[in-house]
């Protein structure tokens, strides 16, 4: 595959659509309240995501309010609000975005016969009507409308092409073809986009988007392959959180674009050195952290245990590291923290760990840290995070 066979040129940007606060948040153990969502939204804004999906407006009052709050708090990225193709859903999504600087309504409907027949009890003709009506309704509120054909990868190609053509005609500006159940392979996924581009000429005027789930462990591989098929928007989540086995992990895609620039020479606006702090911050806000062996952000991602590896690393890190820890924001840990460490060094390490503290809290944290360092020989990052969490909780309580 050469770049001339893809939809664009290397000058094309890859647009990052983050759905940590919607597809990620709806999975078990990942739920967040509005304050956590706002904190995460600020971190995602700092990281440089282009589009931030803040929730599914009609699903609950909490989601609706969280989308409104995120829209007010974060002004640079496009804020997306999800809606089924029902009138009330689209209306609620539009209302949730009233205060957004750059609103996007994201409406979706299944395109596979399996979903249409079993779940929606809808014919293909009815699906076309529902999808186009929803896109038209969404366009009456905002200029930026995304349509997703749920379960696209298990859909009949001819019908999928019909649906894509009809929704573009109705006003969709982004077309997303999700691998909803993580069924696809890289070759098949790229081929699906090529096929759609050749069957629907109007695709040249809109943005094509990929959205992959990780049921077979191929979400990131499929997302990268879709770029070769002409995709320029990638939907993903921090730490790969999401339904079932999760969504494509944002940090892995960003790292792949950085390390394999030879293959993917596309600019994007993510700040790679904020990948690790953002991952840490999310781990802190939900009930679990990434597995230690998780690529890019796991605690072992840059650890070298075997003697032969350590020997190679000492001779030249390139022997066993394809990227430096610093390039993705992993602290070098060259600074050993102990009871003689100062507030500045502690504050810096907490920032790197995704747990920044204001001056008053840092002062309180410092006293707790010195006390702990007196009792404990080695202080690990986990100790710092636990101490910072206790400090934040104690000072918030005192202020209440």
In 3D space, the residue among 209, 217, 160, 156 whose CA is nearest the CA of residue 183 turns out to be: 217
Name which of 252 and 352 has its Cβ closer to ligand KIV: 252
Partner in contact with 20, chosen from Zn ion, ligand KIV, none, beta carbon below 5 to 8 Å by kind: none
Cβ proximity of 263 and 241 under 8 Å: no
What DSSP designation does 328 have?
G
DSSP labels, 201-243: GGGGGSEEEEEEB-TTS-HHHHHHHHHHTT--EEEEBGGG--S
The footprint of ligand KIV on this chain (CB under 6 A) covers a number of residues equal to 9
Name which of 117 and 371 has its Cβ closer to ligand KIV: 117
In 3D space, the residue among 276, 289, 180 whose CA is nearest the CA of residue 241 turns out to be: 289
Backbone angles phi, psi at 338, to 5 degrees: -150, -170
In 3D space, the residue among 242, 223, 243, 245 whose CA is nearest the CA of residue 234 turns out to be: 223
List the interface residues with ligand KIV, window 152-211 (CB under 6 A).
Answer: 176, 178, 180, 211
For residue 161, the number of C-alpha atoms closer than 13 Å in the C-beta half-sphere is 13
Least Å from the CB of residue 387 to Zn ion: 36
Least Å from the CB of residue 199 to ligand KIV: 21
Least Å from the CB of residue 83 to ligand KIV: 10
147 strand-pairing partners? 107, 175
Name which of 167 and 280 has its Cβ closer to ligand KIV: 167
Q: Which of 108, 264, 266, 302 binds ligand KIV (CB under 6 A)?
A: 108
Q: Which of 18, 50, 63, 150 binds ligand KIV (CB under 6 A)?
A: 150
**Separation between Cα atoms, residue 259 and residue 12, nearest integer Å:** 18
Our finding on whether 23 is near Zn ion (CB under 5 A) is yes
Partner in contact with 365, chosen from Zn ion, ligand KIV, none, beta carbon below 5 to 8 Å by kind: none
Token pair, residue 322, equals: 């394809």
Q: Which of 18, 23, 50, 63 binds ligand KIV (CB under 6 A)?
A: 23
Least Å from the CB of residue 23 to Zn ion: 4
Partner in contact with 150, chosen from Zn ion, ligand KIV, none, beta carbon below 5 to 8 Å by kind: ligand KIV
The position carrying tokens 């390139």 is 318
Cβ proximity of 128 and 159 under 8 Å: no
Least Å from the CB of residue 381 to ligand KIV: 33
Name which of 53 and 144 has its Cβ closer to Zn ion: 53
Least Å from the CB of residue 262 to Zn ion: 30
Binding site for ligand KIV (CB under 6 A): 23, 108, 148, 150, 176, 178, 180, 211, 213
């Amino acid at each position: 595959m050469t770049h001339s066979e893809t939809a664009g040129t290397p000058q094309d940007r890859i647009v990052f659509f983050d759905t940590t606060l919607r597809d990620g948040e709806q999975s078990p153990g990942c739920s967040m309240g509005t304050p956590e969502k706002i904190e995460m939204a600020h971190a995602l804004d700092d990281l440089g995501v282009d589009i931030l999906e803040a929730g599914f407006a009609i699903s609950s009052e909490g989601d609706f309010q969280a989308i409104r709050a995120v829209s007010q708090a974060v002004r640079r990225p496009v804020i997306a609000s999800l809606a089924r193709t029902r009138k009330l859903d689209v209306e609620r999504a539009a209302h949730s975005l009233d205060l957004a600087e750059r609103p996007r309504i994201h409406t979706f409907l299944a395109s596979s016969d399996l979903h249409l027949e079993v779940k929606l009890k809808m014919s293909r003709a009815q699906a076309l009507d529902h999808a186009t009506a929803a896109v038209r309704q969404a366009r009456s509120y905002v200029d930026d409308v995304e349509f997703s054909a749920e379960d696209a990868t298990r859909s009949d190609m001819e019908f999928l092409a019909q649906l894509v053509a009809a929704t573009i005609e109705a006003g969709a500006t982004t077309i997303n073809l999700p691998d909803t159940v993580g069924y696809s392979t890289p070759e098949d996924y790229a081929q699906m986009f090529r096929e759609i581009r050749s069957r629907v000429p109007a695709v040249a005027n809109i943005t094509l988007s990929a959205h992959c789930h990780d049921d077979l462990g191929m979400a990131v591989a499929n997302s990268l392959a879709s770029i070769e098929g002409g995709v320029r928007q990638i939907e993903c989540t921090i730490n790969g959180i999401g339904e079932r086995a999760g969504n494509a992990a944002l940090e892995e895609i960003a790292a792949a674009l950085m390390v394999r620039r030879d293959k993917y020479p596309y600019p994007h606006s993510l700040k790679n050195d904020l990948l690790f702090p953002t991952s840490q911050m999310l781990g802190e806000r939900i009930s679990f952290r990434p597995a230690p062996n998780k690529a890019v952000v796991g605690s072992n991602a840059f650890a070298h245990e075997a003697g032969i590896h350590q020997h190679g690393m000492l001779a030249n890190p390139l022997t066993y590291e394809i990227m430096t820890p610093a390039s993705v924001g992993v602290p070098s840990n060259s600074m050993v923290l102990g009871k003689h460490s100062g507030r500045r060094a502690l504050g810096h390490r907490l920032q790197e760990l995704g747990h920044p503290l204001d001056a008053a809290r840092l002062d309180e944290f410092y006293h707790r840290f010195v006390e702990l360092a007196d009792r404990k020989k080695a202080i690990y990052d986990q100790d710092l995070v636990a101490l910072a969490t206790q400090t934040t909780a104690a000072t918030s309580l005192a202020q209440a």
